[in-house]
Structure 1
Amino acid sequence: MENQAETFSDKLLGFTLPGRDARARVVRLDKVVDDVLSAHDYPAPITHLLGEALVLGALMGGLLKGGAGQLTMQAHTRTGVVSLLVCDFRAGEMRGYADFDADRLEALGANPPLSALFGEGYLAITFETGPGERYQGIVPLEGDSLAEACEMYFSQSEQIPTLIRVASRAGGSGRVAGGLLIQHLADGEVGRERLHVRSDHPDWEHVAHLASTISHEELLDQDLSMEAIAWRLFHEEDEVRVQQGALLFRGCRCSADYYTSVIERFPAAEREEMRNDDDKIVVDCAFCAKEFELAI
């Protein structure tokens, strides 16, 4: 591994194992996750869920080439307690939001399983890599975690063996969340035809076994750098190549001008129905909880 400043929180770290045809991303969120959660007064199960979702968004968004494009992850259900969970990543800018039934959530207790939160839901993962370049995969929300559903996405939609580990907890100064994503790539090159990628490939079995030993404590330890995590897991490999990733921060693309441009597309009669008792159209952003009074 190269000598460089170590990475601890709110920044992506990538690394590859050239001898094993594997690539990985590691992330730990500190201020970012607190900034996103502060927009709403979420109960504990939702802060835990959204913290995990933001980690997954950062890990998968970090796979975009050159830091360009956008990754959006949405979990939907018509029957579950959480009707919508969404987060996205664009060049390090992150945002997230959850919509849920508070009364039904309270009845589930302190630590409800994923199945109780979503019922029969599905997870949609969308990569936008450039103008008009968009692809999406949809998988059922099955298993014990959002991470398992994301592993299923890569297995079914991209045929890439993938292991993901995510951890989230409330600390003394706020919530901390972290994660590791590692993948096996044919011939060790991104973008080549994946004809020979197999989940039982001996190199992948070796990498997956070592990666699976990562603990929640290591992912969340703010005194343990992400370079140290990569070294702990793979120090016996011939080579570990580390690449610094994007700085992560909470962002939102809402603005009065943007919402005005959207509302202006509606017919005049529909815009009149949108007006409140003060004859004004007010739009609130679910991501940042800001309200915009539109001059229309």
Structure 2
Amino acid sequence: MSETIETWFDQPLLFTIAERHVRGRLVRLGPVLNSIMAAHSYPPTAEKLLAEALVLTVLLGSTLKDPESQLTLQAQTGGGPVELLVCDYRGGELRGYLRFDAERLAEVGTDPTLFALFGEGFLAITFDQAASGERYQGIVPLEGASIGDAAEHYFGQSEQIPSLIRLAARHDAEAGCVAGGLLLQHLPEGEVGRDRLHVRHDHPEWAHARTIAETLKPEELTDPATSLETLAWRLFHEEEEVRIEPGLAVSRGCRCSLDYFAGVLSKFPEVERREMADESGTIEVDCAFCSRLFPIPLDEIASHD
């Protein structure tokens, strides 16, 4: 590995092991994560779930080549206490929100399974490609010990890309909520001239890389004193070459504003807008992501028509 400025929080580290036909991402969220969490009073179980989902969103979003493209992660309940989980990433901007039944969530304990949280729910991963205007979406059952397991299943089933995902989150007395993750993938056809993965069943180079990556511990992913470069070196220092580069810095990006909501409301018929307004002629919009109310007068909405 070549020398580089070390990466600690809120910026993914991208790496490629060409000899193994493997690419990966490491990320650790701290200040940005706490900024997102501050909008709501999440209990520990909800905080951990959302933190891991936000890490997963950054890992997947960092694979997008166009900064205007968007990755959306959405999990919906099949009868569990978590009713909705939604996160998205665009050009380094990250946001997320969790809606749940507090009483039922308190009953599942501190380390619940995905089934205990969602019931027979589903995970939808959507890639919106800005350049082509195309949208790709995969939907898989929420099965496994973590939301990372469900995402692994998505890549294996929908994309036919062997993948390893590791997520971890904890509450630190000084740093607040800290969460980290690893995404490791066998490079798809075309990137290094490989055969189509679904017609091959033996991938010794992938099996080796996966076995090494599986030794990564949750406490390493969330350790504020360990840089991402150090983690990559610990895992793959015996490889002949590991190419690394920093990804886009991550920021909280709710993207909500009076002007934005006024533009959305202007698409509704005038009669419907008047039905939504209160006695003073104002529509109040509640942004679930940042937990803010936006009072928007009807005449301001009309100016967007």
Quote the Cα distance in structure 2 between the aligned partners of 1:118 and 1:4. 42
Q: Output the CA distance in 1 between the equivalents of 2:146 and 2:120.
A: 14
Letter of the 1:292 counterpart: F
**Partner amino acid, structure 2, of 1:249:** S
Equivalent position amino acid for 1:205 in 2? A
- Residues 84 and 43 of structure 1, relative CA distance in 2, 3 Å threshold: same
Contact kept, 8 Å, 1:27 with 1:179, in 2: the verdict is: yes
Report the counterpart of residue 251 of structure 1 in structure 2: 253
| CA 201–164 in structure 1, closer or farther in 2 if over 3 Å, else same | same
Contact residue 72 and residue 88 of structure 2 kept, 8 A: yes
Q: Matched residues in 2 for 1:110 and 1:44: separation?
A: 8
Partner in structure 1 of residue 147 of structure 2: 146
Q: How does 1:165-180 map to 2 (within 5 A)?
A: 165-173=166-174, 174-180=176-182
**In 1: Cα distance, 2:103 partner to 2:216 partner:** 36
Distance 1:198 1:29, change over 3 A: farther
Per-residue Cα deviation, 1:178-224 (whole angstroms, up to 9, x for no partner): 00000011467179773467564101100000000000111111111
* Residues 12 and 245 in structure 1, CA contact (< 8 A), matched pair in contact too: yes
User: Is residue 160 of structure 1 aligned with residue 157 of structure 2?
Assistant: no
Q: What TM-score results when the alignment is normalised by the length of structure 1?
A: 0.95
Give how far 1:44 is off. 1.0
Q: What amino acid does structure 2 have at the position aligned with 1:122? A: F
Letter in 2 for 1:286: A
Contact 1:177 1:220 in 2 (8 A): yes
Indicate the residue corresponding to 1:241 in structure 2.
Answer: 243
Unaligned residue ranges in structure 2 (runs of 5+): 299-305
Contact 2:189/2:195 (<8 A) preserved: no
Q: Distance in 2 between matches of 1:271 and 1:30?
A: 40
Distance 1:186 1:175 in 2: 34
Preserved contact between residue 186 and residue 196 of structure 1 (Cα < 8 Å): no
Indicate the residue corresponding to 1:226 in structure 2.
Answer: 228
CA distance in 1, matches of 2:55, 2:146: 13
Amino acid of the residue matched to residue 59 of structure 1? L
Task: State the partner residue of 1:211.
Answer: 213
- % identical aligned pairs: 55
The one-letter code matched in structure 1 to 2:144 is: G
Q: Does 1:64 align with 2:64?
A: yes
Separation of aligned partners in 2, 1:137 and 1:225: 33
Alpha-carbon distance between aligned partners in 1 of 2:243 and 2:125, rounded to the nearest angstrom: 28
Letter in 2 for 1:101: D
Amino acid at match of 2:164: L
What CA deviation, in whole Å up to 9, does each residue of 1:48-99 have, x standing for no partner? 0000000000000011115441110000124121111011111111000011
For the structure 1 residues 195 and 166, does the alpha-carbon distance in structure 2 shift closer, same or farther, using more than 3 Å as the test? closer
> Match of 2:118?
118
Contact in 1 for aligned 2:160/2:197 (Cα 8 Å) = no
Deviation at residue 261 of structure 1 after TM alignment = 1.5
CA RMSD between the two structures:
1.8
Name the stretch that deviates more: 255-264 or 167-176: 255-264
- Closer, same or farther in 2 for the Cα pair 1:224/1:245, shift >3 Å? same
Following superposition, the deviation at residue 111 of structure 1 comes to 3.2
SS in 2 for 1:180: strand
Give the structure 2 partner of residue 26 of structure 1.
26
Mapped to 1, the partners of 2:192 and 2:138 lie a distance apart of 19
Once residues 285 and 157 of structure 2 are traced to their aligned partners in structure 1, the CA distance between those partners, rounded to angstroms, is 38
> Where does residue 136 of structure 2 map in the other structure?
135
